[in-house]
Structure 1
Amino acid sequence: MPYSIAIDGPAGAGKSTIAKALAKSLGYYYVDTGALYRGLAFGLLQKGVPFQNEKAVEEEIKGIHVELLYENGVQKVLCNGVDCSAFIRTSEIGEGASVISQYASVREKLLDLQRNVARQHSCVMDGRDIGSVVLPDANKKFFLTASPEVRARRRTLEFQQKGESANYESVLEEVKKRDERDMSRAVAPLKQVEDAVLIDSSDLNIEEVVDKMLAYCVGSEA
């Protein structure tokens, strides 16, 4: 039977990097749910749909098909059959994904897709509501966080490494605004569920966080 690991946490906590490394260590599928929302945001941007217009988003996403494809262990995101993986990591798409993720129609559209992956494959899945909504019966749950300042520094560096201009103070403000939006939204808000293990990565490197998670999985089917 497939084994599922849920990792939730705020933006910039290192969820994707950690989840990817953990999945590789275990030989599991890695499911970046945030990439699905970014894929939808990419499709909406291509259509010129304002992210803040909920009614327009609800109507237009009916014609946008997002899926995950795995090639040689690498996850790709397809939007209407086109690989958009290389275009969804900009700050504009990230902000758009955060906005549309508040809408019930968007979350409902992606829910079954995420759950189907977990039904078919042992996987590590990261996002904002994996342990609480998407996979409430996950075999192991983690809540990965870090201080807003640490997360802002990480994201600033990430943008700069991609050749994008980024100002730390502006990124910090964006991180705090996104935290507030994610935690206060009416549908599937960001929260730590009772059975999730809390891990603060502020003073830990990738290997240390992965080792901590692996230690919690020892003795389980993982």
Structure 2
Amino acid sequence: MEETVDPNQKVIALTFDDGPNPATTNQILDSLKKYKGHATFFVLGSRVQYYPETLIRMLKEGNEVGNHSWSHPLLTRLSVKEALKQINDTQDIIEKISGYRPTLVRPPYGGINDELRSQMKMDVALWDVDPEDWKDRNKKTIVDRVMNQAGDGRTILIHDIYRTSADAADEIIKKLTDQGYQLVTVSQLEEVKKQREAKELRRQWSHPQFEK
């Protein structure tokens, strides 16, 4: 990543599901680039195969790509074998196109169980804020819901396949940047959390009560 993340400043992870869709995904990528932010895109294998250029651009500009299955089924309703095929086929096509193999998976609808977790051997990335942009396709509604729930260390879920969501994302990216947030990937956010935890442990251990 070109920009380093300061763990002492506010961080927030914007995540985009169900793409790529060149018209709307590229609009979001333009906004991220303009404000020097990064995000994580949880892509569908069935769409990646048609839009390889958009996938390559995501990675080239310092964003993270995660796995969102091949065709968006509820994985817990499939056999383990079928569910793993959904994930593995998507891993394979992303790697074939870009040379990058994701480490993060976001199961459609957040549906996951212990057996799948253990078999996938990937980190499962869920979210804190869901503005339900797929349901209420209204730019102002989406922006207001995200901004009202935004907070340091939070993960926002948006879908990058709708025009209203892309238009809302433009405004959200600008507003969060203006409020001093660093727009980071999910992996960067996890790294910041680890750094903060380590710092807090050091602070506790240096407290006078431990000095005998």
**TM-score, length of structure 2 as denominator length:** 0.35
Taking structure 1 as the reference length, what is the TM-score of the superposition? 0.34
